[in-house]
A and B are shown apart, each in its own frame.
Chain A
Amino acid sequence: MRFTALIFSAALLVPLSAMADEDSVPPVTDPLTKKECGACHMAYQPAFLPAASWREIMATLDDHFGEDASLDPETRGQIESYLAANAGRGRARRASPPLRITNLKWFTSEHRDHEVTWLWKNRNVKTMADCAACHRGAGRGYFEDD
């Protein structure tokens, strides 16, 4: 299962740096990114998406998955630079970069089995965006199977 997921990742969108150790990614180190992104959701580690994705996300903050998450231009620019500099090295095949981590092939294949579905219901997890609901070390970059 894990192996299949790895192949998927390698073939499609590869957070390569994320896969150095398959269950962990380098944590967010920029305080501004932690503070601003982390005000509404876990500050997702930059390695989860390629730079093109982060640029698109930071350019469309006024409609950020259904909410206005706009920032002043200076803050926006600083966060974008950090995310792009630490982005995953994968290339999206499509012309438009992927915007939702939860739609990436490796993500859906890692989260589709029985156990995950059961846990999700049982713990009353509202959204797949809330990594820490199941992965308690998510904020620190650890996504081992809790």
Chain B
Amino acid sequence: MRSLLILPAVIALLATVDAEAGARQALLDGFATQAKAADSGFAGFSASRGENLFRTSFAGGKPDTPACTVCHTPSPLKQGETRAGKPIEPMALSASPDRYGDPKKVAKWFRRNCKSVLGRECTAPEKGDFITFMTGQ
């Protein structure tokens, strides 16, 4: 009886996970299309370039946030903290399974944080590299 009650919940959960995986792939495909349009030699995303983006300190952004790691910590598996003291769920997909599944949320945070850290919007290859790195963590 109990398993009958749980079954619909499990199905709903699996459907959500599946939908998010689909949305994540669609997002990466979109960035790949943009990258190819800008550079016909584009040869796919790279997790190591993504890691480099995550760890580099930039000079062009706002003084309090020179690198992603200032708030997210150097470990994608760890919870970070905003400058105002709020926890940030880990960036690695393995630690935060609903990451990168909502395109509007992804667009909002890339826009804000690339401007805060790099002082400019991130390019499509940079976004794809970043997500490729984090989904492999």
Binding site for B on A (CB under 8 A): 38-42, 62-63, 66-72, 125-127, 129-130, 132-133
State whether A127 and B85 are in contact (beta carbons under 8 Å apart), knowing that A67-B62, A67-B116 are contacts in the complex: yes
Whether B85 and A126, one on each chain, are in contact in the complex, defined by CB atoms closer than 8 angstroms, is: yes
Whether B62 and A68, one on each chain, are in contact in the complex, defined by CB atoms closer than 8 angstroms, is: yes
What residues on A are CB-neighbors of B81 within 8 Å? Answer: 126
Residues 71-101 of chain B, each 1 if its beta carbon lies under 8 Å from chain A, else 0? 0000000000111111000000000000000
Whether A62 and B115, one on each chain, are in contact in the complex, defined by CB atoms closer than 8 angstroms, is: yes
What residues on B are CB-neighbors of A72 within 8 Å? Answer: 108
Binding site for A on B (CB under 8 A): 62-65, 81-86, 108, 111-113, 115-116
Name the distance in Å between A119's Cβ and chain B's nearest Cβ: 15
Closest to A126 in B: B85
A70 is contacted by which of B82, B86, B111 (Cβ under 8 Å)? B111
State whether A41 and B86 are in contact (beta carbons under 8 Å apart), knowing that A66-B62, A66-B65 are contacts in the complex: yes
Whether B63 and A42, one on each chain, are in contact in the complex, defined by CB atoms closer than 8 angstroms, is: no
What residues on B are CB-neighbors of A133 within 8 Å? Answer: 85
State whether A39 and B83 are in contact (beta carbons under 8 Å apart), knowing that A67-B116, A68-B116 are contacts in the complex: no
Name the distance in Å between B130's Cβ and chain A's nearest Cβ: 17
Sort A-B residue pairs by CB-CB distance and give the 4 closest, nearest first: A130-B85, A41-B84, A68-B115, A68-B112
Closest to B104 in A: A72
Name the distance in Å between A38's Cβ and chain B's nearest Cβ: 8
Whether A67 and B86, one on each chain, are in contact in the complex, defined by CB atoms closer than 8 angstroms, is: no
What residues on A are CB-neighbors of B113 within 8 Å? Answer: 68
Whether A42 and B84, one on each chain, are in contact in the complex, defined by CB atoms closer than 8 angstroms, is: yes
Name the distance in Å between A102's Cβ and chain B's nearest Cβ: 11
Known contacts A126-B85, A127-B84; 15 further A-B pairs (Cβ under 8 A) = A40-B84, A41-B82, A41-B84, A42-B86, A62-B115, A67-B112, A68-B62, A68-B112, A68-B116, A70-B115, A125-B85, A126-B81, A126-B83, A129-B84, A130-B84
What residues on A are CB-neighbors of B84 within 8 Å? Answer: 40-42, 127, 129-130
Whether A67 and B85, one on each chain, are in contact in the complex, defined by CB atoms closer than 8 angstroms, is: no
Whether B111 and A67, one on each chain, are in contact in the complex, defined by CB atoms closer than 8 angstroms, is: no
The CA-CA distance from A42 to B64 in the complex, in Å, is 19
